[in-house]
Amino acid sequence: MFYYAKTEALRMLRNRRYLIFVVAFPVLLYLINANIYGKQTDDQGVAYNVVLMVSMAAYGALASAMMSSAVPWATERQSGWLRQLQITPLPGWAIVATKLWTAMLLVLPSLLLVSVVAIVQQHVSMPPARWLGLLLAMWLGTIPFIALGLAIGSMLSADAAQPAAMLCMFGLALAGGLWFPPEVFGSTMKAVADVTPSYHYAALGWSVVGGGGVELADVLVVAGWGVVLGLAAAYLYRRATVRS
């Protein structure tokens, strides 16, 4: 199982689209926006270069979680590789668990790189315990998006999975306020943001950097979405297995 996970991770790291759109793009967006708005502060007095760090790290992690699960899963299912794995001694739960673990590993470059750039270029500074809490919350919070990616990969062909994952990724980023505060678009957009997993996922990080720790409501929403999307992914995986 560990060899399988290592192979999957190395394959994604060789993918130029993953490196550009998932790892490099959030860093570029952070540098642009932080150098324009970084000196301002939000209502809680937190500098925007810190708020933007969380937003862009959340966007990169969300994108990585979905792209590293949806497209490879659909490709393997369509090519017959998943069927080959199913006749090996590797149990079905281990195949899914390996995909989940691999996707979680591939989330780390986005989280870490945006954080390092924030420290080096914007001189963002926080206590070590707060950094650890931030990275841990944002790493574990990607599970719902990985589950969504696996659901897409089980449901669609390889050609359709990529644009579907990208549409979901951009939609969640926009609706969740990762690019712009949802209040900018009015009360309706704020109401939409309140039910999205992406908004509450980023809110975990915003709460930590604000010094207040994670909010229980955000944890419950992210965990709830994780359960719902996880069950959907499991159902669609079993259905795809039966059809295969």
Q: Which amino acid is at 215?
A: E
Q: Is the pLDDT of residue 7 over 70?
A: no
**159: its two tokens:** 């050609």
**90: its two tokens:** 């590797």
Q: Picking from 62-66, 84-88, 193-197, which range would have the lowest pLDDT averaged per residue?
A: 84-88
Q: How confident is the model at residue 77 (pLDDT cuts 50, 70, 90)?
A: confident
Q: Picking from 135-149, 155-169, 192-206, which range would have the lowest pLDDT averaged per residue?
A: 155-169
Find tokens 């996707």 and name the residue: 103
Nearest to 96 by CA among 236, 202, 220: 236
The pLDDT assigned to 61 comes to 93
Domain hosting 155: range is 2-243
Q: Is the pLDDT of residue 90 over 70?
A: no
Beta bridge pairs of residue 41: 47
Rounded CA gap, 211 and 243, in Å? 50
Give the best-scoring range by mean pLDDT among 101-105, 179-183, 201-205.
201-205
Q: How confident is the model at residue 190 (pLDDT cuts 50, 70, 90)?
A: confident
Q: Picking from 51-55, 112-116, 138-142, 233-237, which range would have the lowest pLDDT averaged per residue?
A: 233-237
Please list the alpha-helical segments (H only) found in the chain.
2-13, 16-17, 25-37, 48-79, 81-86, 92-122, 128-140, 143-155, 158-175, 187-193, 197-209, 216-243
* Number of domains making up the chain: 1
| pLDDT tens by residue, 91-117 | 666 677 778 888 888 888 889 999 999
Q: What is each CA distance from 21 to 27, 66, 173, 181, 189, in whole angstroms?
A: 10, 12, 14, 22, 26
Rounded CA gap, 244 and 108, in Å? 33
What percentage of residues in the chain have a pLDDT greater than 70? 84
Rounded CA gap, 188 and 185, in Å? 8
Q: Picking from 5-19, 24-38, 60-74, which range would have the lowest pLDDT averaged per residue?
A: 5-19
The pLDDT assigned to 100 comes to 83
